[in-house]
Amino acid sequence: MRIVGGTLGGRVLRAPAGASTRPTSEKVREAVFGILGQNALDGHVLDLFAGSGAVGIEALSRGAPHATFVDSARLALTATRGNLKDLGVEDRATVITSDAIAFAKRPLPEGAAPWRLVFVDPPYASDLATRAVLAIPSASLAPDVVIVIEHDRRNAPPEALGSLVRTDERRYGDTLISFYEVPA
């Protein structure tokens, strides 16, 4: 597994041992960041259900100033921390051991920048993506936030999640990517 683009493009990432983590493929990451463009990377990034941290690290590689990685699995977070250290981007990252929904509910600390880009990649056979996005306080999201949910075709999130609406959906094999934004 490698970083696809940006200043760290081509560097190898470690994945957590075992089958409980399903890293986002290079093909899907390349497509997502191509769709997002550079504007979505001008603010803070939240990577919920971070796993190996590949998506958030891809954002850092492409210029995001800071990424926060949240996962409850210790093996996943060990891989994320190792990847951040190996790549020398620890100073632009925060790694949180927490249930993603419990973390999402927390308001941002005073003075913290709101999330400009949020990646949500929970286990496929669940409603965790919907629950996590709905848990995020609107004050924690930038006005031009983009939320990206990775899911399978059998567990698609609804067209609207609170004030967010699906603006695009792409399919890559059994993986679907849904993009949500606040309507203009």
pLDDT tens digits, the chain, 184 residues: what are they? 889 999 999 999 988 775 456 667 788 889 999 999 887 789 999 999 998 899 999 999 999 999 999 999 999 999 999 999 999 999 999 999 999 999 999 999 898 999 999 999 998 888 999 999 999 999 999 999 999 999 988 888 999 999 999 999 999 888 899 999 999 8
What was the pLDDT predicted at 21? 60
What was the pLDDT predicted at 54? 93
Domain count, the chain: 1
What are 96's strand-pairing partners? Answer: 70
- 6 in a domain, yes or no? no
Domain of residue 72, CATH code: 3.40.50.150
What are 50's strand-pairing partners? Answer: none
- 15 in a domain, yes or no? no
Local structure of 167: helix, strand or coil: strand
Residue type, 39: N
What was the pLDDT predicted at 22? 65
Q: State the Cα angle at 174 between 170 and 176, rounded to 5°.
A: 25
Contacts of 48 (CB under 8 A, 6+ apart): 70, 100, 103, 104, 118, 119, 120, 121, 122, 132
